[in-house]
A and B are shown apart, each in its own frame.
Chain A
């Protein structure tokens, strides 16, 4: 086993799920397994993991609660495993500080792509001054957006929304988080504003606004900005 690989903590009570997650991630990191929230917290006594995968249905504790506690002292990327038709649970986990989620059942490719994205995010960070996706280039110093060199006009709110999404590229942001970041606290009830401005951004930035490649919808949860296709 390669000691240079980052540590990945997998908190999941079903041993068979831990088994295939470990197998799927063996070339991306060294997997540490925990069957409960208590075991998960114990692992932090050793070397700090670079990423944690947390199942929300833990036997000893609410997964959302565990995430909230972890977030009080660590910024490590958190990937949540959750059921379909449990949007409120996912939103709660993301609002508590999780970075992304996977809906059960999930494929190995999908898991690897998410993990890779979260680990890379950690490596490069969000400090770049110019960001490119598709044929769009965003210059954060001069606050300009261009497509193939031609300027695209964004309103201040559209620019601020794009900025928040880019800073958190690869993460899922809930409606509440986006509303708070862009419109400020006290605007949590203006979900329709957010959706309509996202629509504007797609019209301006996506080749086919109805089938976006970067500004992706996580239905019932929020939005995710994807800089490039991670499928491979």
Chain B
């Protein structure tokens, strides 16, 4: 279309000249029959028609040719450009002026009509593309649709750049070897401003990089390039290119949210599956364990009493079943904690209460121990999940009971800075010097010198403690005590407890 422009333009001028010649030949027989003024009218009509059909240039040619031919063939002396009657000079001038004006007006009208038709065509094409984009379900499809449109409408090539998870851009279609203008495109993506690429800069040049701007953020870059600079840089093409970029941005954004929605659904699905699985496992393990504990316990209480050896076995079965139950409980807790979505039921409460309930819960394991509770009297209520903090205390007490047999235990709490520091200390053999943080790792078992063989249990307890304390915004660590023994310490932020209304009317 565009290449044939210049040759067709010459043809238009030729056709305009031909029309004037034909008019002259057709009107020649009328000479002397009709008035010369009417011949002028016919010429003006031809100029108007030429302008409407062929545009303003040929119309100007037709205007001058018309005046010349009229002078030559119809004005005395005929077949000469000379004019005898000076009045005809006015006729010529008016005829030329009118022809030029009509010609320009008609030509402008034609251009407007052509432009409108082209616009409509463009709009329809854009609309079609938008419709196709709305059906696209993958980035590759979006790129294909946009590329097809730009190739057929503007005869330019395009590459679509979309961000990966780390915000670097990936080209569609991927370049065969190293992308020559990745840096420029990345800059456009980051700044959100279009950029012209000149030939020296890259192989995709002359080109234009357009950011895909959506209401929330830049979603990528559309790089358009062609063989000639004006194909992509011409001002009249920018509105169309901008429109394409906007439609692409919307399509890419829609894909993005589609992905997000799908991921959320998937997450929810797997979360639901996990918790269903957890509760099924916990139920299925709990029931036989309850039976085991209950039946073994019944045996130990049977009357008449079992022989000593059988009684011992029954007790061992009961204790092992209870241990297994604790283990299952720890595993399930850890599984819940590890999903990272543990709901904390935090409430303001005195620490004393959870210390008391933990000691009560661990009464069996701690039987016969000297236990000292030393809570600072100025300790304010703290905000924590009582069930989870009780787990922490129980695990710490259980550890002390396991690794420091016969040792006394001190539970203490005091204010240190903006935190409450709470500790459970024993005077057992103490941690090995190199233990440090590793005791809080999963399945790490305390390697207390001398007692390693006598102790058992999968090291989940302290890992659970760390997860729970961490969820409360505190930290937990282990220390060696000076004379001997272990001190497990943890902090909880103090925060601002709610004010209690004073009780009135005593």
Contacts and interface: CB of A to CB of B under 8 A. Distances in A.
Interface of A: 14, 16-17, 19-21, 23-24, 57, 83-85, 87, 104-109, 155-157, 191-193, 195-196, 198-199, 202, 208-212, 216-220
Contacts of A208: 373
B291 A109 contact: no
B263 interface: no
Contacts, number: 125
Contacts of B497: 192
Given A107-B294, A217-B360, A219-B386, 18 more contacts: A14-B290, A20-B291, A24-B294, A24-B297, A104-B287, A105-B290, A105-B294, A105-B321, A157-B503, A192-B381, A196-B381, A198-B353, A209-B352, A209-B356, A210-B375, A211-B356, A216-B360, A219-B357
**9 A-B pairs with the lowest CB-CB distances in the bound complex, closest first:** A220-B387, A20-B294, A105-B293, A192-B348, A217-B357, A105-B290, A16-B291, A108-B297, A195-B349
B286 A105 contact: yes
A209 B353 CA distance: 8
Nearest to B328: A84
A166 to B, nearest CB: 19
State the majority secondary structure of interface residues on B.
helix
Interface string B462-506: 000000000000000000000000000000000001101001011
Contact of A195 (B283, B325, B329, B347): B347
A196 B506 contact: no
A76 B497 CA distance: 41
A14 B291 contact: yes
Contacts of B361: 219
A198 B294 CA distance: 34
Contacts of A195: 347-350, 353, 381
A108 B354 CA distance: 26
A16 B295 contact: yes
Contacts of A218: 357
A199 B329 contact: no
B500 A210 contact: no
Given A84-B329, A87-B387, A192-B347, A199 B290 contact: no
B387 A219 contact: yes
23 contacts: A16-B291, A17-B294, A20-B295, A84-B286, A85-B329, A105-B293, A105-B325, A107-B293, A108-B297, A156-B505, A156-B506, A192-B381, A195-B347, A195-B348, A198-B353, A199-B353, A202-B352, A209-B352, A210-B352, A210-B373, A211-B359, A217-B356, A220-B386
Interface string B141-159: 0000000000000000000
B290 A104 contact: yes
A108 B345 CA distance: 32
B333 interface: yes
Contacts of A157: 503
A105 B390 contact: no
A210 B387 contact: no
